[in-house]
């Protein structure tokens, strides 16, 4: 609580990766007044429409308030926590004893708090003995993670939000920040207004973001690497690269440049491949070459691709070549989608990671084993999200625990995901809501989890800033924090000593200690300064950026200012991108490319934002955007209806005819689905191809057809 004003609680918005600070004043009747926290250094009091409407989403309607267990007659019935947790542990133990630890899996969420994520990973990777733990963050930023590791030797976001205030050129690639990171976009627009910064937007659609750009490059889907390969060649040809920086701090420049020249031999070829006007390409290249203070932000349009990692590296290449990294107002910048995708990464939330940004090298496995005193340490990577559900479909995984996410809607080829869920011998779902599509596939055990406003812990935003989420409402019914639920299950599985946590602060301390354990500075993630934080200080902890090593004062929060990277030789890697191509190209039967994304006022599958009448008024129903020429050709009328079909599924959507949409492309938002009064589940239509390095699905390019209905 704020001093002298006890009813006001500082917390953090539960939606996007901007991570805005929020002030909540509970009204004593289950509601609260919401405003932006003027003292939070990531938003300085600003909130977007979603954050401002949080007060409309706090009701208990539709909440899951008690544990429930499926009965022999197939119906769910209320039970007590002890019975439900016994069933969780008995079910997991039976399957592990019969089939081994790889027959069980957890599917987590960027909505979880870092402490929830930490303890779930500890249980699975250290005590059950499998790395079958993945998360919906796989769909959000795993290509950035893989790209960072290739270039920097670690999953390190180099920059900070202040760079967006100091840049003279901001390039947004595959990012509708005006809708998806609105408060950050306001900051970019303030720089544009007040300092004259230039904004370049690269996107297949003329989004709200693109409409504010000084230069909009409407790129053909999937061709980003060609544009940035051409930029690297242009920088070399015009001698605007920093040879000194390249020689001192990087390797593999020549090989990458040679590949880039072959992918993008001249402007005419780049224009042909990307579909961008040649003069605009030259304008972009001149702007980038001539503006040292340049930040390139990238988001889902880059990440959600079967070549997402290559796209990330093609962008990073251009910053390494110019030495524009680790300095004020410059650098590559991954905009994280979810509120705690970054925090999940910090504790090993992905199937190919261990906690504190460690991997599965024998050294890291051994270090984590010793720190946890782990009896059954996973020694190899587990299944990434899409592959995890494939393994369920093949019958290899028999038990799944889903926490705070709705894979039956959000994963690609969602129909197949539902088939997989129905095959499970044991489906455990920790949820806020009584009904969602995942629950409806036949969950065996439902565990009521605390929601935003009721739970306490930490989250990390896109600029590596760790902030507190704080409870300001009582736990309703019998709902419990996710970390508590996992710890209780772990105790019943016989691991009580290692999961004897009383509070989220206990878990945070252990997480901080692990980040510093045998870390001589060779690993990027280190918050060892917080390993001994007492509970009172945890309660009042103010937002801070990592790294914060023990014994060191807070200092420069940008990484790589010295030109030292986390590779064995300390040098960054240039990467030669593969030839860009969509995994599935449009053909005669499916002649359109279906792009998916978000709308301004909804979040994910709408379990929270769908409760707000204010937010529903923006775009109240599912739709597909079509270019006017395509609409004419296919006899579609604005505000009529059309069936969109892919090889994976089909649904009927309201038609929005707009020349913001590219010819040959369709765009449909992801939010609506079966249990929110719509039959439009876009996940059912999306192809399941994934990036071979990151495992991130190609959610923005599925061949599709459209017919008037």
> Which residue in the block uniquely carries the two structure tokens 């910048």?
333
114: tokens are 């870092």
| Closest-approach residue to ligand SF4 (CB) | 51
Could you give the CA distance from residue 360 to residue 374 in angstroms, rounded to a whole number?
Answer: 15
Among 8, 13, 421, 670, binds ligand SF4 (CB under 6 A): 13
Q: Does 145 bind ligand SF4 (CB under 6 A)?
A: no
Min dist CB 16 to ligand SF4, Å, is: 3
Site string for ligand SF4, 28-47 (x = CB under 6 A): ---------------x---x
For the chain, how far is it from start to end, CA to CA, in angstroms? 55
Nearer to ligand SF4, 53 or 154 (CB): 53
Q: Which of these segments, 12-20, 254-262, 466-474, 588-596, binds ligand SF4 (CB under 6 A)?
A: 12-20
> Which residue in the block uniquely carries the two structure tokens 């020349």?
659
Among 9, 15, 590, 682, binds ligand SF4 (CB under 6 A): 15
Q: Which of these segments, 17-25, 132-140, 303-311, 577-585, binds ligand SF4 (CB under 6 A)?
A: 17-25
Q: Does 18 bind ligand SF4 (CB under 6 A)?
A: yes
The per-residue DSSP string of 374-419 comes to -SS---S----HHHHHHHHHTTS--EEEEES--HHHHSSSHHHHHH
Phi and psi for 208 in degrees, rounded to 5?
A: -60, -35
Q: Does 450 bind ligand SF4 (CB under 6 A)?
A: no
Q: Sign of torsion, CA 261 267 269 270? A: positive
Could you give the CA distance from residue 399 to residue 96 in angstroms, rounded to a whole number?
Answer: 9
Instruction: Report CA 345 to chain centroid distance, whole Å.
Output: 10
440-to-86, 216, 407, 511, 539 alpha-carbon distances in Å: 22, 43, 12, 35, 38
Nearer to ligand SF4, 32 or 706 (CB): 32
Q: Which of these segments, 18-26, 234-242, 340-348, 587-595, binds ligand SF4 (CB under 6 A)?
A: 18-26
User: How long, in residues, is the chain?
Assistant: 709
Q: Does 289 bind ligand SF4 (CB under 6 A)?
A: no
Q: Does 19 bind ligand SF4 (CB under 6 A)?
A: yes
Among 24, 64, 85, 183, binds ligand SF4 (CB under 6 A): 183
Q: Does 129 bind ligand SF4 (CB under 6 A)?
A: no
Nearer to ligand SF4, 13 or 582 (CB): 13
Nearer to ligand SF4, 343 or 695 (CB): 343
Among 9, 24, 32, 48, binds ligand SF4 (CB under 6 A): 48
Q: Does 53 bind ligand SF4 (CB under 6 A)?
A: no
∠ CA 436-132-518 to the nearest 5 degrees?
125
Could you give the CA distance from residue 322 to residue 317 in angstroms, rounded to a whole number?
Answer: 9
Q: Which of these segments, 180-188, 294-302, 481-489, 570-578, binds ligand SF4 (CB under 6 A)?
A: 180-188
Min dist CB 465 to ligand SF4, Å, is: 12
Phi and psi for 448 in degrees, rounded to 5?
A: -75, 115
Phi and psi for 29 in degrees, rounded to 5?
A: -125, 25
Among 16, 424, 487, 704, binds ligand SF4 (CB under 6 A): 16
Nearer to ligand SF4, 16 or 350 (CB): 16
Q: Does 50 bind ligand SF4 (CB under 6 A)?
A: yes
| Helical (H) or strand (E) element with 33 | strand 32-36
Q: Does 140 bind ligand SF4 (CB under 6 A)?
A: no
∠ CA 241-245-250 to the nearest 5 degrees?
105
Min dist CB 214 to ligand SF4, Å, is: 23
Among candidate residues 492, 419, 438, 472, the one with its CA nearest the CA of residue 81: 492
Q: Does 543 bind ligand SF4 (CB under 6 A)?
A: no
Contact between residue 274 and residue 216 where contact means Cβ atoms under 8 Å apart:
no
Could you give the CA distance from residue 6 to residue 611 in angstroms, rounded to a whole number?
Answer: 28
517-to-3, 360, 512, 555, 635 alpha-carbon distances in Å: 35, 16, 9, 21, 64
Q: Does 182 bind ligand SF4 (CB under 6 A)?
A: yes
Nearer to ligand SF4, 18 or 260 (CB): 18
Q: Does 610 bind ligand SF4 (CB under 6 A)?
A: no
Nearer to ligand SF4, 469 or 690 (CB): 469
Total residues interacting with ligand SF4, rule: CB under 6 A: 14
Q: Does 51 bind ligand SF4 (CB under 6 A)?
A: yes
Binding residues for ligand SF4, rule: CB under 6 A, are: 13, 15-16, 18-20, 43, 47-48, 50-51, 181-183
């Amino acid at each position: 609580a704020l001093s002298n004003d006890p009813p006001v609680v500082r917390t953090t918005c539960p939606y996007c990766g901007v991570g805005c600070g929020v002030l909540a004043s509970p009204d004593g009747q289950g509601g609260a007044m919401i405003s932006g926290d003027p003292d939070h250094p990531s938003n300085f009091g600003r909130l977007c429409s979603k954050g401002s409407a949080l007060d409309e989403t706090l009701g208990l309607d539709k909440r899951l308030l008690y544990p429930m267990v499926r009965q022999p007659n197939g119906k769910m019935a209320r039970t007590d926590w002890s019975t439900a947790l016994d069933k969780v542990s008995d079910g997991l133990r039976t399957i592990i004893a019969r089939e081994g630890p790889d027959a069980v899996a957890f599917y987590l969420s960027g909505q979880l708090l870092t402490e929830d994520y930490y303890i779930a990973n500890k249980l699975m990777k250290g005590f059950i003995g499998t790395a079958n733990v993945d998360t919906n963050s796989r769909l959000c930023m795993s290509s950035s993670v893989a790209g960072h590791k290739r270039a920097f030797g670690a999953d390190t976001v180099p920059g900070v939000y202040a760079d967006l205030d100091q840049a003279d050129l901001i390039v947004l690639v595959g990012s509708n920040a005006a809708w998806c990171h609105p408060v950050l976009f306001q900051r970019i627009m303030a720089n544009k207004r007040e300092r004259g910064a230039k904004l370049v937007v690269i996107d297949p659609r003329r989004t709200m973001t693109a409409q504010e750009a000084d230069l909009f490059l409407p790129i053909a889907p999937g061709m980003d690497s060609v544009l940035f390969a051409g930029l690297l060649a242009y920088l070399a040809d015009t001698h605007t690269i920093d040879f000194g920086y390249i020689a001192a701090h990087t390797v593999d420049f020549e090989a990458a440049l040679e590949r880039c020249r072959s992918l993008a031999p001249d402007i005419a070829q780049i224009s042909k491949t990307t579909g961008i006007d040649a003069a605009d390409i030259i304008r972009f290249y001149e702007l980038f070459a001539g503006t040292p203070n340049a930040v390139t932000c990238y988001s889902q349009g880059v990440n959600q691709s079967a070549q997402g990692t290559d796209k990330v590296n093609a962008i990073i290449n251009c910053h390494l070549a110019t030495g524009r990294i680790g300095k004020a107002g410059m650098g590559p910048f991954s905009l994280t989608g979810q509120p705690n995708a970054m925090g999940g990464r910090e504790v090993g939330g992905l199937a190919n990671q261990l906690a504190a940004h460690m991997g599965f090298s024998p050294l890291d496995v051994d270090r984590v084993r010793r720190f946890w005193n782990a009896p059954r340490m996973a020694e190899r990577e587990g299944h990434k999200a899409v592959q995890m559900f494939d393994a369920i479909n093949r019958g290899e995984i028999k038990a799944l625990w889903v926490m705070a996410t709705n894979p039956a809607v959000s994963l690609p080829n969602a129909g197949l995901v539902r088939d997989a869920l129905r095959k499970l011998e044991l489906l455990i779902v920790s949820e806020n809501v009584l009904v969602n599509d995942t629950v409806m596939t036949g969950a065996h055990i439902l565990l009521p989890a605390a929601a935003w406003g009721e739970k306490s812990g930490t989250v990390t935003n896109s600029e590596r800033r760790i902030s507190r989420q704080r409870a300001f409402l009582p736990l309703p019914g019998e709902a419990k924090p996710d970390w508590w639920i996992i710890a209780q299950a772990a105790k019943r599985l016989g691991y009580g000593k290692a999961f004897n946590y009383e509070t989220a602060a206990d878990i945070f301390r252990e997480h901080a200690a692990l980040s510093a354990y045998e870390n001589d500075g060779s690993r990027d993630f280190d918050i060892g300064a917080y390993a001994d934080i007492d509970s009172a200080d945890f309660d009042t902890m103010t937002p801070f950026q990592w790294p914060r090593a023990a014994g060191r004062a807070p200092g420069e929060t940008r990484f790589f200012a010295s030109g030292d990277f986390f590779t064995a030789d300390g040098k960054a890697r240039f990467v030669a991108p593969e030839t860009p191509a969509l995994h599935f190209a449009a053909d005669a039967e499916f002649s359109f490319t279906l792009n998916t994304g978000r709308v301004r006022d909804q979040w994910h599958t709408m379990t929270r934002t769908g409760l707000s009448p204010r937010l529903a008024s923006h775009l109240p129903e599912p739709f597909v955007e079509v270019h006017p020429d395509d609409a004419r050709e296919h006899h579609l009328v604005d505000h009529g209806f059309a069936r969109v079909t892919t090889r994976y599924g089909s649904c009927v959507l309201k038609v929005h005819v707009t020349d913001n949409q590219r010819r040959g492309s369709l765009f449909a938002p992801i939010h609506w689905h079966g249990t929110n009064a719509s039959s439009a589940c876009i996940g059912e239509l999306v192809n399941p191809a994934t990036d071979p390095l990151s495992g991130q699905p190609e959610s923005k390019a599925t061949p599709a057809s459209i017919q008037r209905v």
